[in-house]
Structure 1
Amino acid sequence: MKKSILGIVCVMLCLSIPLTAAAQQVYSWGFKRSVNGEQPDAGAEYNEVLKKHDAFYKGSPDEKVVYFTFDNGFENGHTEKILDVLKKEKVPATFFLTGHYLESAEPLVKRMVKEGHIIGNHSWGHPNFSTISEEAMKEEWAKVKKITEELTGQKEMHYVRPPEGVFNERSLEVATEEGYTHVFWSLAWVDWYHEKPRGGDVAYNEIMKQLHPGAVILLHTVSKDNADAIERVIKDMKKQGYKFESLDHLTGKKS
C-alpha cells in the first residue's frame, strides 16, 4: 500500500515539473533549399514550432526583398571589406555577434552600428542552447546585450540566433520572455571553413542559385569567398529587381 501511494505521489510530482532542456526534443535548423527562385520550406514540424514562438526564417514570398545577416564568432580579416561594400551599395545588415567577437573586434563592432547596421545576439560563449539551464541562457544573452550597449550605444537588442542552429522549445520560450525574436535563415551555404577558401565565384554561385523573394541570407564573415563575392552578388540582385531591408522592416521593430 505504501509503495502504491508513493508511486501515485511520484507521478503527480513528475507531471507538475516542466520538461528540462535535456528532456525536450532538440531541433537542428535545416530546410529544403530554394530552386528556381521559389521560397525554401523547412517542413510542417519546423514551421509549426517557429510560428508558435513568433520566430521566422524568411519574409514575404510576394516581395523581391532580401535581408542580409552575418554570423561573427571571430574576426578573420574580411569584415572590413564586407562593411565597405555594404556602405557603398547602401545595404543594411544584421550582425549576430558572440562575446569573443565583441571583445576582440571593438572597432568593427562600433563601425557596424555607426553605419546603420543592427547587432543581434549570437550568445556570449556559443554553447548548445538545448543543453543549458534557463538561467544560463539569460546570462549568455545578457552579457552580449550589455557589452554591445557599452561599446556602441545600441540600447535595444531584439534578435537572437542560436549557435549552430540548435534549439528546443524551451530556449525559444525563454528568448521570447526576454524580449527576443529568434531569426533563422532561408539561404546559406557551407562558408565557415575559413582555412579552405574556394574562391569568390563559388560563393557567388552558391548564393545566387538559392536567391528567392523574402530571403533571410546567412553568411559568415570569416569567409574570404564571401568578401570577394558580395559586391557582385548585391549588384546582380539589384539587376534582378531586388531591394534590401533590415530585419526591423520585416518585424516592425525599432533597433
Structure 2
Amino acid sequence: MRNFIKASIIIFLTFSFCLYNPYSIDAFGWGYKKNTDHQVPEIGEYKNLLEKYGAYYVDDSGAKTIYITFDNGYEQGFTEEILDVLKRESVPATFFVTGHYVKSEPELIKRMVDDGHIIGNHSYHHPDFTILTKDAIQKELETLEAAVAEVSDQKDIKFLRPPRGVFNENTLQWANELGLVHIFWSLAFIDWKVSEQKGSEYAFDQIMAQMHPGAIVLLHAVSSDNAEALERIIQELKKQGYTFKSLDDLLIKKLLPNGLYN
C-alpha cells in the first residue's frame, strides 16, 4: 500500500509538471504578473522560452520607450480617428490584422502603411495555432501577407501576434523558422468588449497605472474608450519623458552593441 501511494504521488507530480511546463506541447495563453509600480511585469518561465526563439514581450533595456500595437480583427469605426491622433503626435504603431480586416478595410490598411505604420500578422482566419500543423500555420501567415501586399505598399511581414495569444514551443519554433518574430505584450487591459466600454478616463487610468519603461502596449481599435483617450495618453507620457518607437526600432536596438542606439 505504501508503495502504491508513493507511486501515485510521483505520477501526480509528473502530471502537474506537464500541465505547467511551458516547454511542453500543450497550449498556453499569454499572461504576466501585473503591477502598478511601473516595473516590467514578470512572466516566469516564459522568459526563457521567448529568449530561445527570439520573441518579445518588452524592451528590457531600461529606456523609457513605448511600442504601441493594435489588434484589428474587425472594424468599429474608430481606426481612422486613431490614425489621425497617431499622425498628429508623430507616433508609430504596429497593427496586427486578420484576413477579414484586410478584405473588409483595404483603404485603412493602405493608410496605415502610407502613414508609416507597420502591419503585423495576426493570421488570416484567426485560428488556434497550437492545434495546426506547421504547413497549416504557414498557409495562414502567407495568405495574410499576400492580402496585405495586394492592397498596400508593404510587401512582406516580419512580426507575428498569435491569435488569442495562444502558443506553445512548436508554434514559436515554426514561426521562427518561417522568418517571423513573435510579439507579445507587457501592458493590456479589457478593452475589446464593445458593449462594455467604460469611458475614456478608464482607458487612460488603466494605461497610466501599468506603464513602465520598454512597454509593448496591446490595444484594440474597436474600443471607443481607446480612441477618445489616445491623444491624452500620448501627450501625458511624452511629458513624463517617454518616447514612442516602432517594432523595427526594437529589433535594431537588440542587434546593435550597447550604447550605439539612441
Partner of 2:123: 123
Which string of whole-angstrom CA distances, capped at 9 and with x for unpartnered residues, describes residues 38-69 of structure 1? 111111x1001111111010003420000000
2:31 match = 30
Aligned partners of 1:241, 1:160: CA distance in 2, in Å? 29
Identity of aligned residues (%): 49
AA aligned to 1:42 is I
**TM-score, normalised on structure 1?**
0.88
Residue in structure 2 matched with residue 9 of structure 1 by the alignment: none
Verify: 1:228 aligned to 2:228, yes or no: yes
Displacement, 1:35?
2.0
Deviation at 1:195, TM superposition (A): 1.6
In 2, are the aligned partners of 1:161 and 1:184 still within 8 Å (CA)? Answer: yes
Q: Given the alignment of the two structures, is residue 218 of structure 1 paired with residue 213 of structure 2, yes or no?
A: no
**Which structure 2 residues correspond to residues 1-255 of structure 1 after superposition, within 5 A?**
24-43=25-44, 45-252=45-252
Q: Secondary structure at the match of 1:71?
A: strand
Cα deviation code 1:71-110 (max 9, x no counterpart): 0000000001100000000000000000000000111110
Give me the whole-angstrom Cα distance separating, in 1, the residues matched to 2:193 and 2:31.
19
Are the aligned partners of 1:158 and 1:179 in contact in 2 as well (CA < 8 Å)? yes
Q: Is the 8 A contact 1:34 1:212 kept in 2?
A: no
CA distance in 2, matches of 1:68, 1:80: 16
**What letter matches 1:141 in structure 2?**
L
Q: Secondary structure at the match of 2:129?
A: coil
What letter corresponds to residue 33 of structure 2 in structure 1? Answer: K
| Structure 1 runs of 4+ with >6 Å offset | none
Name stretches of at least 5 consecutive residues in structure 2 with no aligned partner.
1-23, 254-262
The AA in structure 2 aligned to 1:168 is N
- Tell me the equivalent position of 2:12: none
Q: Secondary structure at the match of 1:116?
A: coil
Q: What residue ranges of structure 1 are gaps of 5+ in the alignment?
A: 1-22
CA distance in 1, matches of 2:214, 2:68: 11
How many aligned positions are there? 230
Across the aligned residues of Structure 1 and Structure 2, the Cα RMSD in angstroms comes to: 1.1
Q: CA deviation at 1:155?
A: 1.8
